[in-house]
Homo-oligomer: A and B are copies of this chain.
Amino acid sequence: MPMIIDCHGHYTTAPAAHQKFRDAQIAGLKDPTAPVARPGAISDDEIRDTIEKNQLRLQRERGADLTLFSPRASAMGHHLGNEAVSNAWTRVNNDLIKRVVDLYPENFVGVCQLPQSPGVPIANSVGELERCVRELNFVGCNLNPDPSGGHWTSPPLTDRHWYPLYEKMVELDVPAMVHVSASCNPNFHATGAHYINADTTAFMQFIEGDLFRDFPTLRFIIPHGGGAVPYHWGRYRGLADMLKRPPLEEHVMRNVFFDTCVYHQPGIDLLVRVIDIGNILFGSEMVGAVRGIDPRTGHYFDDTKRYIDALSLSSAEKERIFEKNARRVFPRLDALLRARGL
C-alpha cells in the first residue's frame, strides 16, 4: 500500500479568533486611529477541535495519510491593505499551520503562504519563505500569480520580476503551488472562475516563456487538475508548435505538475489519459471549494481518492500518483519521511 499524500489542503476551518484578527486588521485600514490589530489567543484544544472534526476525520474516512497543509487560499487576500498588513497576516497564518503540524506531525506537513502585496517586489517575500522552510520545516509555498485579486496587474510568472523568489526556491529545493486568492473583480467567482483561470493562465505563460531554461530545477504544481489545460491538451500542443516552442514534454512538463482536484470521475479519467502519470499528484483541496455530496454518487465531490481508486491503472502507477511523485516534487517532504523510516 502506498502512503496517500494529499498535496493540496488548506486550513479552511481555523478557529474563530483567527478570522477575528483578520477582521480587526481590515477594519484598521479604514480607521487609522484604531489600535494595531493583534492576534487573539488560540488554544491547542481549539486547534485540535477544528482539525479533528474536519480534515483529520476526513483523512481517516477517506483513507489518506498525510496532507500538505497551507493557509486558506481564498483568505490570503494579498490585495487587501498594504505590505505591512500582508506581512502580519501571512506570518500569523504560517505560524498557525506550524501549530497544526506540531500537534499532528504524522498527518500534516506545512506549506506556507507568501506576504505578497500588489506592486511590492517579490524579493520581499523571500525572507518569509526562508523562515518557513528553515525554521518551521515547511516543504513548499503557495505563489499567487495575481496579488491584485482579479485585476491581473503583475507581470507574467515568466518575467524577471519573480526571479528573486525562484532563486530562493531553487536554493531551498522547494516547489510552489500556483494559487490565487479571493477575487475582488465581480466578473470572477473565486473558486468557480478565478482559480481555474489562473491555472490555465499560468500554464500558457510557461509555454510562451523560457523560464525553465533559466531555472531547470524549478518546480510548480498547477492545482485544480491544471485548470482547463488537460481538456484542451491538443490546443496547448498546437499552440506550442505555432509559437515554435519545443514539445510540451520538454518545454514545460519537466517542471510543472497537476494535482487531482477535479471533482468527477470523467475529469480524472481525462487527466490520466492525457497527462503523463509522472506529472500527476494526488490532491483533494479538502475541506475546500466544494463541500457537498454528489447526488449522482452519494459521495463527497472532493473525495478525489475514490476517482483515482477507480482508475484501471497498475498499483505501481497509482503509487506514483499517491506518493512517489509528491516525494519527488517535494524533496524536503521525502527527507522528512525518510528520517521517520518511511
Contacts and interface: CB of A to CB of B under 8 A. Distances in A.
Interface residues of A, number: 56
Contacts of A103: none
Interface string A231-266: 111111111011000000000000000000011101
Given A151-B151, A204-B193, A233 B188 contact: no
Interface in A148-195: 150-152, 154-156, 185-189, 191-193
Given A196-B200, A267-B270, A292-B238, A262 B189 contact: no
How many copies of the chain does the oligomer comprise?
Answer: 2
Contacts of A302: 238
A239 B192 CA distance: 7
Interface string A6-23: 000000000000000000
Select the residue from A232, A241, A263, A294 with max chain B CB neighbours within 10 A.
A232
A225 interface: yes
Contact of A266 (B151, B236, B239, B273): B273
Given A197-B201, A235-B262, A242-B290, 17 more contacts: A151-B151, A155-B187, A156-B186, A189-B204, A189-B208, A193-B200, A193-B204, A200-B228, A225-B231, A231-B267, A232-B262, A232-B263, A234-B263, A234-B264, A235-B301, A238-B290, A242-B292
23 contacts: A152-B187, A155-B186, A155-B187, A156-B187, A188-B201, A189-B205, A189-B207, A192-B204, A192-B235, A193-B197, A193-B200, A193-B204, A197-B197, A224-B235, A231-B262, A232-B263, A232-B267, A235-B262, A235-B263, A235-B289, A238-B290, A241-B292, A267-B270
